[in-house]
């Protein structure tokens, strides 16, 4: 099998699994218990929190562990409501978890979409124009899971800070929070919270060779949020439930490894991606590469071919032992057209003919060479079939 869907899921690193195993077996104790064995587990759990906080430049108390990025996003959007005039701004290419969380709040808060250009980059002028005194939350993903397009989070945070300063001068008390889903950026981009200028940030262990259903929400000190899950009051009262010690320790180990490998791995997979892109461009003259080719993740290649049925191509490639995606896994599972590709202005024909190839640590140049003739055969055959319909 040639696996090229790392943007959807990464395998657990063997070193991560080794770090987790004791807490799934001998050290199974509830970290909230008072006897010494549990106290020792609590110490290990908190040590993992310290390690992650150190990597992103946060205080340990600002890290809230969750059951994945989706829960983290839901908590971030669960801030106190002061009036029905409040607004949330999100980009038009956000992950479905952000779109759903924002839509859920539409009963209490107006939601507006920020425009993006044809490459998936935020229109900064549109952002400025839409930040009025009623905007309470702005959420913009660091890097698109479909396109790989990277947003200038630092510039966006500067615009938001200008709006805050202006509000303060005019005596406007409505707070303005900035959240970013950085799940896809881990292991490829700098995610230091001070350099990014975010108030809230979502990370996901499953995107950096850690366990699934483990994530976190960075919450800048002084920000008040309401819990989504209530009960025993764990995680500073924001996420009740027995702590996932093995998962959190695995997250910390995966995060450390990803950060250590970040620069070398980014260069390696970028070369593989560029080599494959050159092959595809030579093989299919009418191909369209989607996303910003200057500002994109090194491991994602999203392209469209006119008259290609993307989902049918995914199934045909799967029969040849190749795993890729049509759009994102979330959109494909619903059988719907990608809202991301629609937002960047692709025609229905090109949006439906889109494939996403995402590479990872186990992707090799030998795999890419094996992939090329398979793509040649499958895509040409699918295009012939599409042109006959």
Q: Which domain holds residue 310?
A: 2-9+262-388
Domain end (from 257, 287, 313): 257
The residue among 165 and 385 whose pLDDT is bigger is: 165
Active-site residue, 208 included: no
Choose the weakest-confidence range: 162-171, 221-230, 261-270: 221-230
Same structural domain for residues 220 and 366?
no
Do 46 and 136 share a domain, yes or no? yes
Given this model, what pLDDT does residue 85 score? 78
Region of residue 307 (phi > 0: left; psi between -120 and 50: alpha; otherwise: beta)? left
Q: pTM for the whole thing? A: 0.93
Position 328 scores a pLDDT of 45
Q: What is the pLDDT of residue 106?
A: 59
Same domain flag for 253 and 270: no
Same domain, 327 and 341: yes
Tell me the C-alpha distance between 327 and 29, whole Å.
42
Tell me the pLDDT tens digit for each residue of 307-331.
999 999 999 999 999 999 996 444 4
**pLDDT confidence band for 384 (50 / 70 / 90):** confident
User: Are 170 and 124 part of one and the same domain?
Assistant: yes
Residues 348, 326: Cα–Cα separation, whole Å: 14
Q: Which of 20, 97, 127, 330 is catalytic?
A: 330
pLDDT (mean) for 344-354: 95
The string of pLDDT tens digits covering residues 90-108 is 999 999 999 888 887 655 5
Sign of CA dihedral 21, 22, 23, 24: positive
Report the chain's mean pLDDT, rounded to a whole number: 93
Q: What pLDDT is stored for residue 82 in this prediction?
A: 64
3-state secondary structure of 114: strand
**Are 188 and 302 contained in the same domain?**
no
Q: How many domains does the chain have?
A: 2
> What is the domain-level CATH number for residue 308?
3.90.1150.10
pLDDT tens for each residue of 39-68: 999 999 999 999 999 999 999 999 999 999
- Domain boundary (257, 280, 312) is at 257
Task: Give all strands (DSSP E) within the chain, no chain letters.
Answer: 2-3, 63-66, 87-91, 110-114, 135-139, 177-181, 200-204, 215-219, 288-290, 300-304, 322-323, 354-358
Q: Are residues 240 and 304 located together in one domain of the fold?
A: no
What is the rounded distance in angstroms from the CA atom of residue 48 to the CA atom of residue 205?
13
User: Could you tell me how far CA 136 lies from the centroid of its own chain?
Assistant: 22
Residue 90 sits in the same domain as residue 147:
yes
Q: Are residues 287 and 344 in the same domain?
A: yes
The C-alpha angle 99, 159, 123, rounded to 5 degrees, equals: 55
Q: What is the pLDDT of residue 332?
A: 47
At which of 227, 257, 287 does a domain end? 257
């Amino acid at each position: 099998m040639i696996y090229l869907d790392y943007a959807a899921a990464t395998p657990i690193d063997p070193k991560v699994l080794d770090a987790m195993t004791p807490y799934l077996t001998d050290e199974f104790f509830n970290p909230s218990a008072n006897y010494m064995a549990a106290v020792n587990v609590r110490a290990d759990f908190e040590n993992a929190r310290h390690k992650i906080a150190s990597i992103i430049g946060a205080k340990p108390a600002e890290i809230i562990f969750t059951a994945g990025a989706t829960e983290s996003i839901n908590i971030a959007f669960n801030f106190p409501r002061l009036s029905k005039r409040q607004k949330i701004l999100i980009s038009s290419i956000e992950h479905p978890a952000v779109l759903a969380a924002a839509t859920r709040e539409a009963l209490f808060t107006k939601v507006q979409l920020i425009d993006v250009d044809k490459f998936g980059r935020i229109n900064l002028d549109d952002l400025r124009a839409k930040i009025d005194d009623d905007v309470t939350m702005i959420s913009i993903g660091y890097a698109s899971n479909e396109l790989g397009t990277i947003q200038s989070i630092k510039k966006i945070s500067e615009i938001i800070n200008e709006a805050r300063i202006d509000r303060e001068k005019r005596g406007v008390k409505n707070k303005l929070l900035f959240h970013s889903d950085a799940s896809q950026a881990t292991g490829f981009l700098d995610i230091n919270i001070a350099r990014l200028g975010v108030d809230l940030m979502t990370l996901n262990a499953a995107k950096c060779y850690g366990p699934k259903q483990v994530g976190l929400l960075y919450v800048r000190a002084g920000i008040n949020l309401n819990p989504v899950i209530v009960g025993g009051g764990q995680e500073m009262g924001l996420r009740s439930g027995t702590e996932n010690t093995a998962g959190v320790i695995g997250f910390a180990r995966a995060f450390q490894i990803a950060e250590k490998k970040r620069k070398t791995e980014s260069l390696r997979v970028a070369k593989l991606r560029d080599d494959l892109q050159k092959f595809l461009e030579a093989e299919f003259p009418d191909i369209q590469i989607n996303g910003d080719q200057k500002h994109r993740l090194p491991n994602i290649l999203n392209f469209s071919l006119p008259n290609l049925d993307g989902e049918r191509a995914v199934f045909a490639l799967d029969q040849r032992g190749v795993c890729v995606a049509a759009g994102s896994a979330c959109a494909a599972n619903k059988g719907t057209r990608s809202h991301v590709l629609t937002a960047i202005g692709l025609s229905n024909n090109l949006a439906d003919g889109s494939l996403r190839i995402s590479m990872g640590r186990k992707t090799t140049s030998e795999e890419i060479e094996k992939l090329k003739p398979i793509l040649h055969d499958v895509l040409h055959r699918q295009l012939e079939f599409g042109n006959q319909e």
